[in-house]
Amino acid sequence: MIEFKVVTFSHPTGVTALDHVSLSIADGETVAVVGENGAGKTTLVKHITGLLKPTTGAVLVDGDDTRQRTTAELSRKVGVAFQNPDHQLFSENVEEEIAFALRNFGFPPETVKQRVDWALNFFGLEEYRKSSPLTLSGGEKKRLTIACILSWDPGVVVLDEPTVGQDVIQKERLSETVRMLKSTGKTVIIVSHDIEFLWPMQPRVIVMSRGKIIADGPASDLMLEREVLASARVSQPQLVTLYQGLKKRPAQPFVHVHDARSWLASEANG
């Protein structure tokens, strides 16, 4: 369980990035955090890891007040892949990058080897095993940071703009990863502007604007609220726009493209 209890955070410059935020995320939930640039999304997730501490209020992770825990202690429970992977990568090669946290957390050598091999294969990074992380493309660096996190199997996985620099195939693989994490009971928090990537997952959606949470609920409900989305400069999924534009339509919005194609075909043939 992750809890924000009336959290306000102000930068030393005086800018308030979070403004009286109260929020609970249950174990096993998949949550998307959306909003315009500067809405407070990344600041929110940095509080979960303890990288930032509330100016007022409290953040609890499994009952532990983050003000009383170091980032290293919290990272065993919460793995975060930040928007800029260059802020996280530092090892001599890709293999060592993945192995570092595993060794730091005390995993035995055989387990370290097995998990490194799995991560390299699953994320398509095997050919870069001995390469410096700095030589990878932006998309490859992003995949590496996610591979590092999943290798140590934290209970909470936070992905900050995970689809940046990813092609269609890698986005689909990332979607599969999120579904896998969800099926194993992990809590997954995704910060993203990529509404088309988020929509098929049907997550709980938290909409932020100017440091506040202005809406919170199932994607199936919130993504129909054009005015709410527009106020936070969030685009509506194309399938939802198509659904709302139909004079005759099914009871629920289309979740996948093949759903829309099948329904439209049946109507045309009917």
Reduce the secondary structure of 13-24 to three states and give it as a string.
CCCEEEEEEEEE
Q: How far apart are CA 104 and CA 248, in angstroms?
A: 58
User: Distance between CA 208 and CA 229 in Å, rounded?
Assistant: 10
What is the fold of 27-41+71-269? Rossmann fold (3.40.50)
Instruction: Give the pLDDT confidence of 111-140 residue by residue, as tens digits.
Output: 999 999 999 998 889 999 999 998 998 888
Amino acid at 263: W
Residue 183 has pLDDT above 70, yes or no: yes
pLDDT tens digits, 39-69: 999 999 999 999 999 999 999 999 999 999 9
Q: Is-contact 224 241, C-beta < 8 A? A: no
* Contact of 88 with 133, CB cutoff 8 Å: no
SS3 20: strand
* 270 has a pLDDT exceeding 70: no
DSSP 59-84: EEETTEEGGGS-HHHHHTTEEEE-S-
> Measured between alpha carbons, how far apart are the two ends of the chain, in Å?
49
